Chains A and B, each alone.
Chain A
Amino acid sequence: MKAPTADKIRRRNVRALCLCLAALAALLALFTLPAYTFETALFTKKSGNTFVGDERYVQARAEVDEKAAAYAAHQPANTVAVAEEVTTRVNSKGETTSMVAFRVVLRQSKTAWDFIASGLSSGGLLLAALLCTASAMGLLFAGLPGTLSKTPLRLSRPRYLLRQASCVLALAALVCVGVFPLATTQMLERDLIARLGNPATPALEQLIGRAEAFLLGGMGGDQASELLAGVTYHSTVWLWLNLPALLLMLCGMIALGRESVTRTLSRGLLYLFVILLCVIILYPYYVMLITGFRSNAETTDMYFTNIFPTRWVWTNVPDIIHRGVVRFLGNSLLLSGGATLIALCCGIPAAYAMSRMRFRGKKTFLGFVIMSQMFAPIVLLVGISQLMNFLGLNDSILGLMLINAAFNQAFAIWLLRGTFVSISPEMEQAASIDGCSTVGALWRVLLPMAAPGIVTTLIFVFINSWNEYTISTVLISTPFKKPITVGITQFSSFNMIEWQYLFASALLATIPVVILFMFIEKQLVSGLTSGGVKG
């Protein structure tokens, strides 16, 4: 790599700086565009037995228009409008009746500046974001003179720290803007609207006062509470565009502390993608966690606006234990443990023969093993249940064990054979020359060396059997013999689902296998490729 010239570095740095300035300009512009739209019904009049255009309609309309004009005098132009809704229906005597509902609606949009000026708590976040951005840019420019043609590595220590600090501040601004919508919902729903009926505390009164000034222009008067309760709100795309703008600014600042702008931008996008991906993947687990420890009322709360339960109901755990979850977990453990043991006891000798011996029909057997993966037990449900009836293994955990072991044979042999092939047979040959039998050589020499592969297979079969659901539903009818995957469905009956119990037990069923899986993840990658691709 040849070192870039001073001129080239200068050009790069200027480009990054331009990006920062453009992002700042975009941010300031976005702050003056509407961030939220609010809608409030100031006055409602319903006029029964009225048809559009008749005398009563004109009268009512005039009254409403007058009201609207009165309200409009206190409000910015074009925010007060009259909406009318006509409902017609035919009554029991066959006459058509009609009702007109007039609503004087205050429709307004608020910019980020409005939020800051209002003194509302969530506006403080925007103010903080603004201050962070301003000081980040300030620090950036303070450290700028004389450094434009230098690579970051040649900067003096204080100047380097200044650039780092500006990056951190820009990140803080990003977080503030990201949290703002959440805080706004929280403030309006939980702190304001949900508490309007409650006895007033000083904090609430202050909040009502500020919200009234902000949303109603101070003309709510006695009706303030009622009007505020009817407010609906909605974030605009401009608010969300603040986030990419800040992200671009952050990228520009990082680019100034690094090499090139495009590289930094592509890195930024990469991280963004990965973070989004992780958030999406973890989302169901987050839901499981918070739902498992909420009260029943809260799991079916339509207006649940918290990120975490308002109260963690740990007693859900004793409740589900009382309902037999430990028994189900024990069954699952027995079932999966037994299946794993059987699968390994049958699979290790087979894999050993496949990897170490030459015999006629080896290819046929390998083909059969690969083909047998196609025979998922579900298509064969009827056959399996008939077979189990015949063997007298219906409704028994032993039957499930054998089925799971049989359907996991293919994978077990595949993984084990891959492991055995990768180990040189010299040690075993030496052992057999020393008078060790084949079984002895396998047991004392090969198995200890193949331990990682065997553990991988073991855990893999265990997880598969633990998660199996369909065969267990069909074969097991006695409640106390059910494994956990079937057991948890008892919490969701036809007309009522006890979500909190369902998810608390699901959590108990998930944690052990996920931990086990983490152990073998890496091993499994190499096991699958070596066993699979080299065939």
Chain B
Amino acid sequence: MNTISVRRKWEPYLWLLPSVLLMTVFVIFPILIVFKLSFSEISKAGVVGRFIGLENFRAAIADRAFAGVMLNTLYWVVSVVGISTLIGFIVAMTLNTRFRGRKIARSIVIFPWATSLVIQASIWNYIINFEYGNLNNVLLNLGFLKDAINWRASYQIEFIWECGVGIFVTVPFVTFCVLAGLQSIDDAYYEAATVDGAGFWKKLTLVTLPLVRPSLTVSTVLNIIYVFNSFPIIYTITKGAPANRTDTMVTYLYMLAFYDQRKGPATALSVIGFVLLCVVAGLYMMISMRKDEI
């Protein structure tokens, strides 16, 4: 066993103390505060009043924007996580084959992960500008287009762009995780499969996929959390305009709490989002863990 003898029984807890203290104060307390606030009356100035039961939840759900925002959140999470997992998987498979310049290609694919989302979102905001954006410039220069295209013609298209940027910034992380999983697969499995006469698809479904599943699970769970909580992309590109049509839950919550000063419904939304996230991520983790055990 990799353990060392401990003389006093309470010693391990002393070692954990700083970490537990830090997390209790700055993670657990805010959660408790949000739960408490969601059941209390809050004035515009932020003064916490009496207990009002589910009134805040009723107000949040009764808001006209609520249904649309929830739907947007669903589209946003499913499309960004789903598509970027697929693309990231393909990219990782490609980068796992041997070719010249592989190391450089890997670094290039993965490094955007270290760039701030605000910065990435700002760049794309410039690129898709109708009047002087670089995308139109490039396409016009190459002669693909006769006239500049308005890439932001409607809010639906803007939302698709936001999802696209979301995918663009998420792919590096998936690639990163899957690549780590792929590298840990022993070549012997593939050699054995080749001897048994397995083709590309059989190798993919019977060897690669089962063996990278733990990595895929980690990256998918983390991505669901990150993407759900992703704020800067939508806030930078549309700010949820027009009329919350491109808002996801997180940006809507921010607007509600800090622009409209409706902190009551905002905390109710926080609780709803928090519970949703716990349920979804917990379910996914449980399902994939169970499969792993079989």
Residues of A contacting B205 in the complex (Cβ-Cβ under 8 angstroms): none
- Across the interface, do B258 and A425 meet the contact criterion of CB distance under 8 Å? no
Task: Give me 20 other A-B pairs in contact (C-beta within 8 A), A413-B19, A509-B116 excluded.
Answer: A233-B143, A274-B94, A287-B127, A302-B132, A350-B18, A356-B3, A357-B12, A359-B13, A373-B225, A374-B225, A374-B278, A380-B31, A383-B37, A386-B37, A386-B46, A403-B26, A406-B22, A432-B4, A469-B117, A488-B118
Q: Is the CB of A357 within 8 A of B15?
A: yes
A499 to B1: give the CA distance in the assembly, Å: 58
Residues of B within 8 Å of A395, CB to CB, are none
- Going nearest first, the 9 A-B pairs with the smallest beta carbon separation are A235-B143, A383-B30, A406-B26, A517-B114, A353-B15, A350-B19, A376-B229, A383-B34, A359-B12
Among A274, A375, A421, A492, the residue within 8 A (CB) of B99 is A274
Contact with A along B13-42 (1 / 0, CB 8 A): 101111111110111011111100100000
Question: Closest chain B residue to A515 by CB distance?
Answer: B114
1/0 contact string of A363-398 vs chain B (CB within 8 Å): 001001000111111111111101101000000000
List the A residue with the shortest CB-CB distance to B32: A383
CB-CB under 8 A from A301, the residues of chain B are 132
Q: Which of A101-126 contact B (CB under 8 A)?
A: none
Report the minimum CB–CB distance from A193 to chain B (whole Å).
13
Closest to A486 in B: B118
CB distance from A488 to the nearest CB of B (A): 7
- Cβ of B2 within 8 Å of any chain A Cβ, yes or no, is yes
- The 0/1 profile, CB within 8 Å of A marked 1, for residues 271-288 of chain B is 001100110010000000
Interface-lining segment among A210-218, A278-286, A319-327 = A278-286
A346 proximal to B (CB < 8 A): yes
Q: B96-127 vs A: 1/0 string, CB under 8 Å?
A: 01010100011111111111111110111011
Interchain nearest-CB distance for A396 vs B (Å) = 14
Which label, helix, strand, loop or mixed, suits the secondary structure of the A interface?
helix
B residues contacting the other copy or chain, number (CB 8 A): 101
Contact A463 B114 (CB under 8 A): yes
State in angstroms the CA–CA spacing of A278 and B32 once bound together.
45
In the complex, the chain B residue whose C-beta lies closest to that of A354 is B16
Beta-carbon nearest neighbor of A489 in chain B: B118
Decide yes or no: A181 and B143 within 8 Å by CB, A305-B137, A356-B3, A374-B225 being known contacts.
yes
* Contact with A356, one of B4, B118, B119 (Cβ below 8 angstroms): B4
Any B CB within 8 A of the CB of A131:
no
Contacts of A225 in B (CB 8 A): none
The listed residue with most A CB atoms (<10 A of its CB), out of B19, B27, B120, B183, is: B19
A-B contact pairs, 28 of them (CB 8 A): A184-B143, A234-B145, A270-B94, A273-B94, A291-B126, A291-B134, A346-B21, A349-B15, A356-B3, A359-B6, A379-B250, A380-B274, A383-B31, A405-B26, A406-B23, A424-B2, A438-B11, A470-B231, A474-B258, A488-B119, A510-B119, A517-B111, A521-B107, A524-B176, A528-B180, A528-B218, A529-B181, A533-B181
- Provided the pairs A287-B127, A374-B281, A402-B22 are in contact, do residues A358 and B3 lie with their beta carbons within 8 angstroms? yes
Would A347 and B109 be within 8 Å (CB), given that A383-B37, A402-B26 are in contact? Answer: no
**Chain B residues whose C-beta falls within 8 Å of the C-beta of A380 in the assembled complex:** 30-31, 34, 270, 274
Q: Does B80 contact A (CB under 8 A)?
A: no
The listed residue (A234, A278, A387, A492) touching B30 by CB distance below 8 A is A387
Q: Which residues of B are found within 8 Å of A438, using beta-carbon distances? A: 4, 11
> Interface digits, A508-535 against B, CB 8 Å rule (1 contact, 0 not)?
0110011011100100111011001100
Assess A267 versus B99: contact at CB under 8 Å? Given A374-B281, A492-B122.
Answer: yes
Nearest CB in chain B: distance from A534 CB, A: 9
Kindly provide the distance from the CB of A512 to the nearest chain B CB, expressed in whole angstroms. Answer: 10
Q: How far is the CB of A116 from chain B (nearest CB, A)?
A: 18
Q: Decide yes or no whether A44 CB sits under 8 A from chain B.
A: no
B interface: dominant SS: helix
Q: How far is the CA of A270 from the CA of B177 in the complex (A)?
A: 21
Question: Does any Cβ of B come within 8 Å of A81's Cβ?
Answer: no
- B18, A382: Cβ atoms under 8 Å? no
The answer, among B19, B123, B140, for a CB contact under 8 Å with A506, is: B123
* Distance to closest chain B CB from A455 (angstroms): 15
* Residue B146, interface by CB 8 Å: yes
Asked whether A299 is an interface residue with its Cβ less than 8 Å from the other chain, the reply is yes
With an 8 A cutoff between CB atoms, is A288 at the interface?
Answer: yes
- What are the residues of chain B within 8 A of A409 when measuring CB–CB? 19, 22-23, 27
> Are B105 and A277 touching (Cβ within 8 A)?
yes
Closest to B120 in A: A284
Interface centre among A186, A281, A463, A526 (most CB of B within 10 A): A281
Q: Is A314 an interface residue (CB 8 A)?
A: no
Check: B72 CB closer than 8 A to any chain A CB: no
State A430–B220 Cα separation when bound (angstroms).
42
Determine the distance from Cα of A525 to Cα of B218 in the docked complex, in whole angstroms: 13
In the complex, chain A residues whose CB is within 8 Å of the CB of B151: none
Least CB separation from B108: chain A residue = A278
Q: Mark A32-43, 1 if CB is under 8 A from B, else 0.
A: 000010000000
